[in-house]
Amino acid sequence: MSKKIVLNQLGYISSMPKTAAFVGTAESFQIVDAKTGKTMFSGLTGDSVFDPSSHDTVSPIDFSSFNMCGKYYIKAGRKKSCVFEISEHPYKALKTGLLKGLYYNRCGIHDKRFAGDYAHGKCHSDFVPLFENPSKRLDVSGGWHDSGGYGKFSVCTCTTLGHLLYAYKLFPESFNDITGIPESGNGVPDILNECRIGLEWLLKMQARDGGVYHKAASAESVSFVMPEDDHSEHYVFPRSHQATACSCAVFSLASRIYRDFDADFSQRLHEASINAWIWLMNNPKFVPFENPPLIALNAAGDFYDDNFDDDMFWAVCELYETTGDKLFHDRIHELCGRISAIGFINRDNGGFGAISYLFGSQPKDSRLEQMLQVQIRIKADNLYSLSKKSGYGTAKSPDDYIRGSNMYSMTDSITLILAYKIFRCEEYLQTVCEQVNYILGKNPMGMCYVTGFGSESVKHPHHRPSEADDIEEPVPGLLVCGPSKQSQDDFTQWNIPSEAPPAKCYYDISYSFSTNETTIYCNSAAVFVAGYLDSLTKNNREKD
C-alpha cells in the first residue's frame, strides 16, 4: 500500500462538508493555497481505520470548517494532493459536461461546431428490418447509442429520461446553463432539448398498436470502429411489456413537462402514453423479453428481467399524475406492496413511480405515501451507516462492488436526495457528498471516474468512439461503470487477481467492459446528482 492523499479532484461546495483521505497513517494535515504556498488551515486527522473494501489503512481528513473559496492542495507529512477548488458551485462544469456527454452519444451526425474534434459522420440512418419479419423495415434513426457500442435500448432510454426529466422537474433552477448543443438558445432548457432526442426515438419505436419495440441493435459483435463505419446488420427486436410500460410512463411524464414549451409535442406524447397503456391492457399476460436464439448477449447487449411490477407501477403512477383517474390510483394500491421505491435502474425502476406519487399534485393515500417514504428512509439510513464504516466514506459494503458500481453510487445518491427532501436529515446530504467525492477521486484507485475531468481521470473507457477516433483524449463527460469483483470480461479475469480487494477490481483499459464501460443511464443518474448539488446554496437549503 503506497501512501497518498485522495480527494474530490474537482472540488467542494464552500458551505458543505469537505473530506479527503490519507492512505496510510498520518496525524495532521494542512490546507495550502495553491498560488501562494501559504498554509490556510491546519487540522488533525481522524483515527486510522481499516477499510474492508480496499484492504487499505486510511486516516480520514475533515476540513469542513474551512469555507474560504479558492484553489488549494492538502499536505500531510511529505505527501501532497492534487490541486482542488472550494467554491459555491464547483459542480457546474461537471453537470454540464455530463449532459454534453449524452450529446456525444447521439446516433446520427455530429456537427464539428458543437462536437469539435469528437465530431463524426452520419451513422445508422438506414431503415432497419424487424427481426421477426425482415421484409418489414422501420426508421429507428436518432436517439442515443446506449453504451460502449451502438445498440439502442428502449428500457435503458426510458431510465435515462427518468433521471433527466425528474432532475429538471425537481430542481429546474439548476438547468439554465448553455450546454453547447445544436438546439442551445431555442428557448427550451438544454436538458429538455437533450431529452427530446430520446423521446423522439422512443416514438419511432412505438408500433401502431401502441406496443414498443424492445431495442434496435446489431446481431453481431461490433469492432472498435467509428459509428459511421459500423456496417453490421442491425435489427428491430420484438415489442416487449417492459419497453411498453416504461415508454408509457416516460411519455406521460414528459407530456406534463413539455406542456409549457411545445403544446403539440406534449399532446403527441400524451396520446402515445395512452396507446401504450391500451397495448398493455390488450396483452395482460406478461412475457419477459429474451434475446432470440443465436443472438449473442455481448452483441445485442441486454439484460434479463422477469419482474414486471416495477415497470407497471411507474406507468400507473405517471398516468395517475397526468389524468387523476381513480383507475390508475387503484392500480397503485395494488402494486405498491410489491415494488421497490428505491429502484432507479433499467431492471428496477419503481423509484420513478415513487417520485411521481410522493412529489406529485394529485390526492394521495396517506398509507401508501408512508409505505413509500419508509422504504426511502430505511435505504438512506443503511447508506449513511455504510458510509460511516468506510475509510473512504463510500456507501458500499465489499459485496456491493458489482458491475455498474458507480451507477449504483449515483442512484443511491438519488435515494439520499429524496430522503433529504422529505425528512430534512443533514446526514443524508453529507452521504450524497461522499458518493460524489468517491466517483471524483476519493477512492482506493485515486481515479476520477468521469472522462475529461479531474487531475487523474479515465483515459481508455470501453467506448468505441473514444478508442477509434485517433484522438488521444477520450470523449469527455462520460462516467464509467467502475470497480467490479465479478470479473465478467476476459481482460479482468486474466489480469485482476481473484484475491484483489473489491474496490480495486478496476482497470482503465478499453477491453474491460465490465469495469470501464460507459452507459447513458450512468451519465443521466450523475446529471441528477450533480444538478441537485449545483442547485444548493447556503441560503436556499432551508427552502428546498
- Strand 84-87 vs strand 70-76: parallel, antiparallel, or unpaired? antiparallel
Can you give the pLDDT at residue 295?
62
The pLDDT score that the predictor gives to residue 446 is: 97
Determine whether 498 is exposed, middle or buried from the number of CB atoms within 10 Å of its CB (0-12, 13-18, 19+): exposed
Residue 304 pLDDT greater than 90, yes or no: no
What is d(CA 101, CA 477) in angstroms, rounded to the nearest whole number? 5
Domains plus CATH for the chain?
A: 92-364 (1.50.10.10)
297 pLDDT higher than 80: no
Q: What average pLDDT does the segment 242-264 reach? A: 98
Asked if residue 530 has pLDDT above 60, the reply is yes
Per-residue pLDDT, 296: 52
In the predicted model, what is the mean pLDDT of residues 178-200? 97
- What pLDDT was estimated at residue 171? 97
Tens digit of each residue's pLDDT (9 = 90 or more) over 89-128: 999 999 999 999 999 999 998 889 999 999 999 999 999 9
H or E, element range at 331: helix 326-336
**Angle of CA points 143, 149, 150, to nearest 5°:** 35
Q: List, for residues 129-160, the tens digit of each pLDDT value.
A: 999 999 999 999 999 999 988 999 999 999 99
Q: Are 391 and 50 in contact (CB under 8 A)?
A: yes
Per-residue confidence band for 541, with pLDDT thresholds at 50, 70 and 90: low
pLDDT greater than 80 at residue 63: yes
Report d(CA 13, CA 48) in Å as an integer: 25
Mean pLDDT of 238-255: 98
Alpha helices in 137-186 (DSSP H): 154-170
Local structure of residue 45 (DSSP, 8 states): P
pTM above the 0.95 mark? yes
Bridge-based pairing state of the strands 28-33 and 128-130: unpaired
pLDDT digits (tens, 9 = 90+) for 408-430: 999 999 999 999 999 999 999 99
How confident is the model over 183-199, as a mean pLDDT? 98
Which tens digit of pLDDT belongs to each residue from 361-410?
999 999 999 999 999 999 999 999 999 999 999 999 999 999 999 999 99
Question: pLDDT of 489-509, one tens digit each?
Answer: 999 999 999 999 999 999 999
CB burial class (10 A; 0-12, 13-18, 19+) of residue 82? middle
Q: Output Rg (C-alpha) for the chain, integer angstroms.
A: 23
Q: Report the C-alpha gap between 309 and 339 in whole angstroms.
A: 6
* 467/460 Cα distance (integer angstroms): 7
CA distance 119 to 107: 12
Q: Which helix (H) or strand (E) holds 272?
A: helix 263-282
Helices (H), 118-240: 154-170, 190-204
Average pLDDT, the chain: 95
User: What type of residue sits at position 382?
Assistant: N
| Residue position matching grid coordinates 401502441 | 210
Sign of the alpha-carbon dihedral angle for 19, 24, 27, 29: negative
Average pLDDT over residues 28-46: 98
